[in-house]
Amino acid sequence: MGNRISLLLTGDPNDISLNLSGLYGYQNVVIHTAQVLGSGAYGNAVKATLDKNPCAAKILHRVIVDSQDPGLSDFISRFEQECQILRDLKHPNIVQFLGVVQDPSTNKPILLMELMKDSLTHFLESSPTDIPYHVQVNISHDIALAVAHLHRNGILHRDLSSNNILLNASHLAKVTDFGMSKIAASNPSMTRSKVTQCPGTLVYMPPEALRPQPRYSDKIDTFSIGVLLLQIVTRKFPAPTAASTTREDPSSAWGEIDVPIPEMERRKSDIVKVPAYSGFLPVIRDCLKDKSKDRPTAAQLCQRLGQLKSTAVYSGSRSALLFEGRTELHDAAERGDVKTVERLLSTSVNINSRTEDVRLSTSECVVSFLTQFIDCCSTGLCIPTTCRKDTLLYC
């Protein structure tokens, strides 16, 4: 039997049930269009079931699919680009591509992805206590690792925000939403890109992206990482002051000119809340430099954030949870094992995310910590949280 997708009947009129006939190694997918995980500019993320395994599906808004407006074709192009980018990327900190299928009723693609537990936005807003330091470091490092992988593959994300960072049960962070991404030149130095409008979420954007004709490089993403680090540490959504102020200038036709306000000044109310001992402050300051050439690369951020895992503060944060007996340990494979995803429409490999929980008693945790745990900085800990629906998930 060939890889021909056919529509199946289901008892729920809101479900789309497709026979995949072995496409991607799967037989059936049921897309639960009424179970919305999140909604974005051009589509909804909904729950789906792939051979009885839960996953997420991203589908275009019906108004975009049905519209004859040529201007809306840009949304379809972005969606198709997101499918393309995710298909070609394989990294433990990037939401895993499971496949692309075609909706028989619209002939438009449906993107299938792994199902994640929470968005970073909701996690930060809903946590009843401060986020443990080692969890802050783990999430920050995960984001940098994902962006460094994108840049190595010539891709600028351009819309990094807490809504586009998803977390699993062990707080492993994964980057998603590549609808605004740009595939740069093949030159690994990342040539500068010129666009006609600011591409991403304004409060995460650097000064060069706020200009009438923005021109930027891969440093647009490292600036956004700096804003994310500030948000992770303070648990406050970014709220910078105005980007510029006016100053009298008799030589100007209007008698005044706009003067940019330095980013450190715009965000100082949050920056002063970053503990000096945390090690985050110098990293954040460098990421928020006004001139892009002065900012670190994503690869350099990986190194600097990774070094925080060898500090006494990081070790103390992890050991505190161990001795309290309220920590879950997860297999090291959870923080690094991603199977190969072959080219679109040419694979028969069944791709599934895998989480292995190892639940230990308090005494076992203490023994584990004393004998072997602290030297494994790649394995994260998590505080059990209640899984709640997040309207920003995947969008």
Summarize the annotated binding site for ATP as residue ranges. Answer: 58
- Backbone dihedral region for residue 381 (phi beyond 0: left; psi -120 to 50: alpha; all else: beta): beta
Cite the annotated binding site by residue number.
Answer: 58
DSSP string spanning 189-203? T---EE-SS--S-GG
Three-state secondary-structure class, residue 317: helix
Q: 3-state DSSP helix/strand/coil percent for the chain, to nearest 5?
A: 35, 20, 45
Give residue for tokens 């060898």: 310
In contact, 48 and 17? CB cutoff 8 Å: no
H-type alpha helices, the chain: 62-66, 73-88, 120-126, 133-152, 219-234, 263-266, 268-271, 280-287, 298-307, 312-324, 362-368
Rounded to whole angstroms, what are the CA distances from 211 to 215, 217, 251, 274, 311?
8, 14, 22, 29, 40
* Cβ-count burial 344-368 (b if 16+ within 10 Å, e if not): eeebeeebebeeeeeebeeeebbeb
